[in-house]
Amino acid sequence: EIKEFPVVETPKEVAQLSQSFNHLLQRLNRKIKKEQQFVSDASHELRTPVAAIRGHVTLLKRRWHDHPEIVDDSLAYIDEESMRMKHLIEELLDLSRESQLPSQKTSFKLTEFTDRLVSEIQPAFAQKITVEASSEVMVNTDQTALHHILLSLLENAGKYSPKESAIKVLITTHQQEIDLSVADEGSGIADSEKENIFERFYRIDKSRSSRIPGTGLGLAIARQYATRISAELFVSDNLPKGSIFHLVFKRD
């Protein structure tokens, strides 16, 4: 990184400086390309539900007089597509807002916090979620960020694993760090996809074709929240089957 403009005197220093600039330019270019791709993906994702809604509105306008039986069907479609759009817009806003917010630390008991979150969401899950912690631990971190990350990981575990399987939240305390993990018994994630899934809009093809609802933004947002609390968010294999998402962060 070039922090301030250095004084260069020899040809060697000039060459070094120009190499650093080139490097920086390449990185900047890659970043710009990535942002352009993101805007194009976002527009595409929004265009699909808009097209569907417009199609049904046109259909209703033309035919509802003669074919009142189509009304319910079309309205249900419009309802579903507009909800999909609302969800996507909320996620996009979250993604842009999140990068600007400072972290707000508070002290709280992690196991108590996790138990509470799990009992709130358990009724919406087909799988049984259990929390395993060796002991209660106090942490000093941003509770909103932690809540958002854990919820995303649990929602994914619910979506991508069979109904009768088990989901475990594991709290492992190390000297300085905590590993808060969500383990499922689902399809698991191939090594080649383990980093891709954190990219914006990235979905493994299997999830697309199996029609599991989603935008591919959940893990990108979760990683942004993780960065806000200086945590690492990554995935490993759950043996014999499934994946474990780890959030590793400092106790305070």
Q: Identify which of residues 173 and 243 has a Cβ nearer to ligand ADP in the complex.
A: 243
Whole-angstrom distance, CA of residue 177 vs CA of residue 172: 9
**Any residues with CB less than 8 A from the CB of 228 and at least 6 apart, and which?**
98, 101, 103, 142, 145
Does 244 interact with ligand ADP (rule: CB under 6 A)?
Answer: no
The alpha-carbon radius of gyration of the chain (Å, integer) is 23
Q: Shortest distance, CB of residue 155 to ligand ADP, whole angstroms?
A: 8
Q: Identify which of residues 172 and 236 has a Cβ nearer to ligand ADP in the complex.
A: 236
Whole-angstrom distance, CA of residue 166 vs CA of residue 155: 13
Cis peptide before 213 (omega within 30 of 0): no
103 to 142: interface string for ligand ADP, x by CB under 6 A = ----------------------------------------
Among 81, 142, 184, 185, binds ligand ADP (CB under 6 A): 184
Amino acid of residue 140 = N
Contacts of ligand ADP in 140-179 (CB under 6 A): 156-157, 160
Does 225 interact with ligand ADP (rule: CB under 6 A)?
Answer: no
Residue facing ligand ADP at closest CB distance? 214
Indicate the SS3 state at residue 195: coil
Q: Identify which of residues 53 and 235 has a Cβ nearer to ligand ADP in the complex.
A: 235
Region for residue 216 given its phi and psi (left: phi exceeds 0; alpha: psi -120 to 50; beta: otherwise): left
Q: Identify which of residues 159 and 251 has a Cβ nearer to ligand ADP in the complex.
A: 159
Q: Identify which of residues 49 and 218 has a Cβ nearer to ligand ADP in the complex.
A: 218
Whole-angstrom distance, CA of residue 2 vs CA of residue 136: 45
Does 186 interact with ligand ADP (rule: CB under 6 A)?
Answer: yes
